[in-house]
Amino acid sequence: MANGQQDRILIVDDNKLILKLVQDKLGAAGFEVFTAESAEQASAILPSVKPDLIVLDVMMPGMDGYEFCRRLKSAPETSPIPVIMLTARGDISEKVRGFEAGADDYLVKPFDPTELALRIRALLTRVRSARGQASAPSPAGHIFTVFSLRGGSGKTSLAVNLAMALVQLWSAEVALVDLAFESDHDAMMLDLRPKYTWADLAEKEQTEIDEDVVLGCMTKHASGIYLLAAPPSPVSAGAITPKLVGTVLPILRSRFEFVVIDMPSCFSEPNLVTFDLADIIILLVTPELAGLKAARAALDIFDSLGYRKERLSIVLNWTFPKRGLPQRNIEDALRLPIDLVIPYDSAPFVDAINSGIPLLQANPSSRIAFELQKYAYQLSVEYMQYANVPASEVLARVQAAFGH
């Protein structure tokens, strides 16, 4: 996806039902979809469609998918276009033939259209990073998403305080984006009453959405955080499409040094767009079996999306006081180190929610605040190396702790 534009996908299949199904699903997932019922028809429309990726059925009357793929891959103007083959059988010889013809990935029929959407995103990301280009052009800022498949694991608490820590460290303007539409807690934690929200952006024509419009829908907190709040009612959440999210987040990234996103506990289509755009995905885990299973499941999906481990950061949050799983066991099960442990400490968290003053603002020199500030520093320091940052007390304290 470039600059909020949708990726263009050409699907070639002689089965009209499959074309329709895939077209609907990929359209809903934020892609611009074109269809052709044969390789010949696809060849004819290729120059005008200029697809970013082609999904190609193998068995078709006329030229079959292998032959068409071979031709695509031998012409200089079409060879860079990634191809996903749809093979009828899962046997190894079909797969080998597909790869020999130059296919970049393959999927066995019958397939789940959601999986196809995931594969397409993963392949586009892989191809673009191999070409040394990100999936969006020259981003100025950086996006951190805070995620867990388990509700109540501390996503909002971490997102709000991470945004606050980034403001305190770098005196930067930070955007906080509430995508957790079902809970809408970020405004509450900052004691803000937003006049405009995501719902107002959803009402605009896509072409109207620019930096001024997005900023106009945000609410400024005295600390310097700009909040893009969840819709006032979860009912309007359906209007927040992947396309809208894919338009708004790059705008925020070009305007703010940091964008922190509070995610809902699911893999919805808008979330997939968000993960694709994120520099760092922060995955929260709670020290009990269900929390661990949720984290493992999320990691498996990130793996299938082709995300590198360096883009992930694991945070262990003690949302309950005792008898939790040991940190070692959690790290072994996740096969990743834990970058931050948030100890159980109900009073400051509950006080923060009740008072609408985030922990880091109410008590910036407490032990938990210091741990969060150090973590925020580790996440962001490489991006700020050459920035001209005014010395802040918090930055000096954190740098001293790291001996910088």
Ligand X SMILES: Nc1ncnc2c1ncn2[C@@H]1O[C@H](COP(=O)(O)OP(=O)(O)OP(=O)(O)O)[C@@H](O)[C@H]1O
CB of 222 to ligand X, least distance (A): 21
CB of 265 to ligand X, least distance (A): 5
Q: For Mg ion, which is the closer residue by CB, 156 or 313?
A: 156
Using CB under 5 A, count the residues that bind Mg ion. 5
Closest CA to 228 of 253, 193, 204, 196: 196
- Residue 317, φ and ψ in degrees, nearest 5: -115, 120
> How many whole angstroms separate alpha carbon 233 and alpha carbon 284?
26
Please answer whether residues 303 and 118 qualify as being in contact, where contact means their C-beta atoms are separated by less than 8 angstroms.
no
**Interface with Mg ion by CB under 5 A: which range of 1-9, 174-182, 336-344, 346-354?**
174-182
CB of 236 to ligand X, least distance (A): 18
Please answer whether residues 186 and 230 qualify as being in contact, where contact means their C-beta atoms are separated by less than 8 angstroms.
yes
> How many whole angstroms separate alpha carbon 348 and alpha carbon 27?
45
Q: Is residue 188 at the binding interface for Mg ion, with CB under 5 A as the rule? A: no
> How many whole angstroms separate alpha carbon 155 and alpha carbon 147?
6
**Rule CB under 6 A: which residues touch ligand X?**
151-157, 180, 183, 185, 265, 317-319, 342, 344-346, 349-350, 353
Q: For ligand X, which is the closer residue by CB, 96 or 350?
A: 350
Q: For Mg ion, which is the closer residue by CB, 199 or 230?
A: 230
CB of 159 to ligand X, least distance (A): 8
| Residue 319, contacted partner among ligand X, Mg ion, none, CB below 5-8 A by kind | ligand X
**Interface with Mg ion by CB under 5 A: which range of 51-59, 91-99, 137-145, 182-190?**
182-190
Q: For Mg ion, which is the closer residue by CB, 166 or 261?
A: 261
| DSSP codes joined into one string, 296-341 | HHHHHHHHHTT--GGGEEEEEE--SSSSPPPHHHHHHHHTS-EEEE
Residue by residue, what is the 3-state secondary structure of 37-73? CCHHHHHHHHHHHCCCEEEEECCCCCCCHHHHHHHHH
Tokens of 255: 């305007």
| Residue 75, contacted partner among ligand X, Mg ion, none, CB below 5-8 A by kind | none
Q: For ligand X, which is the closer residue by CB, 136 or 294?
A: 294
> Helix crossing, 327-334 with 289-304: angle to 10°?
30
Q: Is residue 373 at the binding interface for Mg ion, with CB under 5 A as the rule? A: no
| Residue 176, contacted partner among Mg ion, ligand X, none, CB below 5-8 A by kind | none
Q: For ligand X, which is the closer residue by CB, 12 or 230?
A: 230
Q: Is residue 234 at the binding interface for Mg ion, with CB under 5 A as the rule? A: no
Q: For ligand X, which is the closer residue by CB, 169 or 353?
A: 353
CB of 262 to Mg ion, least distance (A): 6
Cα-based angle 68, 70, 74 (whole degrees, multiple of 5): 120
| Residue 154, contacted partner among Mg ion, ligand X, none, CB below 5-8 A by kind | ligand X
> How many whole angstroms separate alpha carbon 355 and alpha carbon 199?
26
Cis peptide before 250 (omega within 30 of 0): no
Q: For ligand X, which is the closer residue by CB, 91 or 351?
A: 351
Site residues (CB under 5 A) for Mg ion, limited to 149-168: 155-156
The site for Mg ion (CB under 5 A) is made up of 155-156, 180, 183, 185
